[in-house]
Structure 1
Amino acid sequence: METIAEPITKTKPALTEDWTVVVLGLLIIGLSLSGIVIPVPAFGWKEGSDLTATVLSVKNGLIILEQFGFTYAIALIGAILTGKPLRSTLFGFPIIFGLTLLALVLAGNKTLKDLNLEAVIFSLSIGLLVGNLVQLPDWLKGALATELFVKIGLVLLGTTVIFGDILKAGSLGLVQALVVVVSVWYFAYWISKRLKIDDELTMMLASAVSICGVSAAIATSGAIQGDSKKLSYVISLVLITAIPMMLFMPYAAHALGLSPEVTGAWLGGTIDTTGAVVASGTLAGDEALKISTIVKFSQNVLLGVAAFAISVYWTYTKNQSADVQASKPTLGVIWERFPKFILGFLGASLLFSFVLDAETVDSVKGSLKSLQGLWFALAFTSIGLETRFADLFKAENRRPLYAFLIAQTFNIFITLLIAYFLFR
């Protein structure tokens, strides 16, 4: 994740993280279509005897080992392409995978599955427990690549989303995104100024709440040349508040009797991280997952436009230094800030919607679905490991915390209203 400090020297990246995700996602799909289909391990069990006979059997253990080897290789390629320290991934990824494997085994228990407790909840919980009880070494911190893991999963998710559904839900999602982003951004900006929060933090906070969480905060910080410490704080706020929203909003939607479409639109338009949207949508069901992902993508598309608008505003109203004055915004900012992993998602969806025959799709969809879920689980183990609860409650951080929570509450209600009228 961008907020993790690494004392280990990085090499110059060959690709940005977003382009790396596209390459890796399409590489996984290409290998599957060429015949390298990774078997799907079994994690379902009811009691101890089932656990020993199925999950812990030699045959299943070899399948898990094969899946580990495949994802390990992909993670190492990702580290090389993005310029991350190879040593960190080399030694750290097996630990992340081991914790995630424990989560998958726990989630396979029939009693827990009947409670609709998905693997991402266990991977997040285990990560939080370890991350807040143990001081992580720097080499393990360097292996945490939440955004990379979750975006690989999202590219693979494109193989299960029919393109016609994207066009239908995406148009409504774009309308919702425009209304939500504008209204929530201005509300968050207003409440932050009322609480006397400085301009830099206000801009990052408003963008994070209204657009797409971590990515929006990073893009805004880049557009205004913001303080990295303030950026790290906003990212921590986004990640930690996303956790209870991710867990409780699907159940709130069920209690309110919302349709899967409205539920998905509500989750996708409200929760601030793409990974948390996916996890929450998973809890709400396949249809809600599909709609929530597409709606979130619609908001992500606006990130480039928003970053461009913010950079124009900041340059011409806060041009206090020669550096800022010299950095005149151009239309290229839109493309620079556009989340490229969306191209991988759309490419996968087009391929599986219009190019491949049904027999080919059937032969690889189980393996790709399993890998998709594994990358999501790895991402949430990483989120848990890098999230520190104590950082949020320092005295100097309370006003931004209050502003964020108030703005997020407004976001929850206004998005529910809009989603209900657009998607019912």
Structure 2
Amino acid sequence: MSVNNKLNIHEDWVVVILGGLTILLTLSGLLLPIPAFSWKNFAELSDTVLSPSNLKFIGLQFLFVIVIATIGAFLTGKSVKSSLQTFPVVYILTIVALVLAGNSKVKALNLEAVIFSLAIGLAISNFFKLPEWFKTALSTELFVKIGLVLLGTTVIFSDVLKAGSLGLIQALVVVLSVWYFAFWLCKKLKVDEELTMMISSAVSICGVSAAIATSGAIKGDSKKLSYVISMVLITAIPMMIFMPYIAAYFNFPQAVTGAWLGGSIDTTGAVVASGSLVGEEALKISTIVKFSQNVLLGIAAFAISVYWTYTQHPAGKDKESKPTLKVIWERFPKFVLGFIGASVLFSFFISAEVNAEVKGSLKNLQGLWFALAFTSIGLETNFKDLFGKNSKKPFYAFLIAQAFNIVITLIIAFLLFR
């Protein structure tokens, strides 16, 4: 039952449609119950995560996302039959990843669900030979971009403005300086252009989300994206643990420490964990700075996509010629408009009361789509591709850029928050 869809709508527009539909249904009152995945021991796992009521919530969530994924497959011209066959497998594996990440000991290490999703997918794809139709049916980009559109609902401009101008100033200075340093360094080390853009954004803006958004903006290789995400998550752990102790050893003020942590650690969860180790003021400032950086994601994705379209010459064209505005628009990733639209909607048109009511459901779905995407990336990736001979230079570039990020952020934190 392979459906030859004559519509064959561009995937980015399909993402805007599906993300908008999800937001509309949620605002209309379709609030999906949020499954519980937290557990300390096997007894608690059985009583909470695997309880009949929680399994019912997981089932309801599955019905919702499989409908969205099937509509996406139809609109983009993919086989609906193949999509219906592969999606349940991806969903089950993703739920396993969420359960593993929900363990209290794992949470203490701040290992996020996406790393388990990626690891499970990689293990299966490298130890078992998956049929080609299965890999072809995976909708990695669709899942990633739906998650990004929903991420826009969490970027509320008024919250950032209330947080204070210092956080915004630091975020802007750090993002610009670190992004350009990372970009320059990658060029010097002759890292390929796709990895250069992803590494620069991941180090300077907000880690995982920035890497995903940049990959979508430049239509990057999902294997390269998974490599960058792995570097972000792996380096976040030692930074989260050691930076608070360094700050304590040198007696940095809490406000400075918080600004340092929020501006240099790439994942929000790791920022919160490290800020909590220092104190209440450090936690507050670190969260403000990290959130201020997150709000720059939409602007950065827009700028990166325009730059990428302008500098990547269409095949067969004169190398000296530049794309016209029409070409830029045609190649511009439309999902960025969905992200910005969702942010504007929730910033200026949705009341605080309604936002408080729906944000939990939308954030849960956003995280689920990201986890589904990384399970899919793992299933279509081979270790040889991910950690091949050409992986050393990007890794060195990432580490050096991260070291620069730590130093420059500390200097700016002292100038603004001392």
87-96 or 154-163: which moved more? 154-163
What is the correspondence of 1:108-147 to structure 2 with a 5 Å cutoff? 108-147=102-141
1:80 aligns with 74
Structure 1 position 302 matched with structure 2 position 289:
no
* Structure 1, unaligned runs of 5 or more: 1-7, 193-200, 223-230, 269-279, 316-320
- For the pair 1:149 / 2:136, whether they are aligned, the reply is no
Deviates more, 1:74-83 or 1:165-174: 165-174
1:412 correspondence with 2:402:
yes
> What is the aligned partner in structure 1 of residue 235 from structure 2?
248
Q: Secondary structure at the match of 1:15?
A: coil
Residue pairs, 1:41-52, within 5 angstroms: 41-52=35-46
Structure 1's 170 and 307: CA in aligned 2 closer, same or farther, altered over 3 A? farther
1:163 match: 157
- Name the counterpart of 2:278: none
Amino acid at match of 2:74: I
* Shift in Å, 1:30: 0.7
Does residue 67 in structure 1 map to residue 61 in structure 2?
yes
Q: Distance in 2 between matches of 1:121 and 1:142?
A: 22
Q: 2:188 aligns with which of 160, 175, 190?
A: 190
Q: 1:183 to 1:61 in 2, by over 3 A?
A: closer
Contact 1:45-1:54 within 8 A present in 2 as well: yes
Equivalent-residue separation in structure 2 for 1:342 and 1:365 (angstroms)? 20
Q: In 2, are the aligned partners of 1:281 and 1:292 still within 8 Å (CA)?
A: no
1:377 maps to what in 2? Answer: 371
Instruction: Say if 1:54 and 1:60, in contact at 8 Å, map to a contact too.
Output: yes
Deviation at 1:322, TM superposition (A): 4.9
C-alpha distance after superposition, 1:6-55 (max 9, x if no partner): xx997566433333222212211110111222111222333333333332
Q: Secondary structure at the match of 2:85?
A: helix
Whether the 8 Å contact between 1:106 and 1:122 is mirrored in structure 2 is yes
Q: Following TM superposition, by how much is the alpha carbon of 1:293 offset from its aligned partner in structure 2, in angstroms? A: 3.2
Classify 1:44/1:237 alpha carbon distance in 2 versus 1 (closer, same or farther; 3 Å): closer
CA distance in 2, matches of 1:328, 1:261: 41
Contact in 1 for aligned 2:70/2:83 (Cα 8 Å): yes
CA deviation string 1:373-398 (max 9, x = no partner): 2112212222222231123566xxx3
Are residues 217 and 368 of structure 1, via their aligned partners in 2, closer, same or farther at CA, if it must alter by over 3 Å? closer
Deviations 1:112-168 (A, max 9, x none): 334433322322222222222122222321233333223322322333332135576
Distance change in 2, residues 1:166/1:90 (3 Å): farther
Cα distance in 1 for residues equivalent to 2:79 and 2:318: 31
Equivalent residues, number: 376
Matched, 1:57 2:46: no
Separation in 2, partners of 1:40, 1:284: 24
Q: What is the deviation of 1:189?
A: 2.4
State whether residues 115 and 230 of structure 2, in contact with CA within 8 Å, keep that contact through their aligned partners in structure 1.
no
* Structure 2 runs not aligned, ≥5 long: 202-209, 248-256, 274-286
Do the aligned residues in 2 keep the contact of 1:392 with 1:401 (CA within 8 Å)? yes
Q: Give the alignment of 1:22-421 within 5 angstroms.
A: 22-165=16-159, 173=171, 175-192=173-190, 202-211=192-201, 236-257=223-244, 259=257, 261-267=259-265, 280-285=267-272, 287=287, 290-311=291-312, 322-324=316-318, 328-392=322-386, 398=389, 400-421=390-411
Alpha-carbon distance between aligned partners in 2 of 1:238 and 1:152, rounded to the nearest angstrom: 17
Q: Give the 3 Å change call, closer, same or farther, for CA 336–412 of structure 1 in structure 2.
A: farther
Note closer, same or farther for the CA distance 1:146–1:260 as it changes in structure 2 (3 Å cut): farther
Taking the aligned partners of 1:264 and 1:158, their CA distance within structure 2 comes to 20
Identity, % of aligned pairs? Answer: 42
* Counterpart contact for 1:261–1:291, Cα < 8 Å: no
Given the two structures, how large is their TM-score scaled by the length of structure 1? 0.75
Superposition RMSD on alpha carbons, in Å?
3.5
Pair 108,405 (structure 1): closer, same or farther in 2 beyond 3 Å = closer
Cα distance change, pair 420–101 in 1 and its aligned pair in 2 (3 A): same
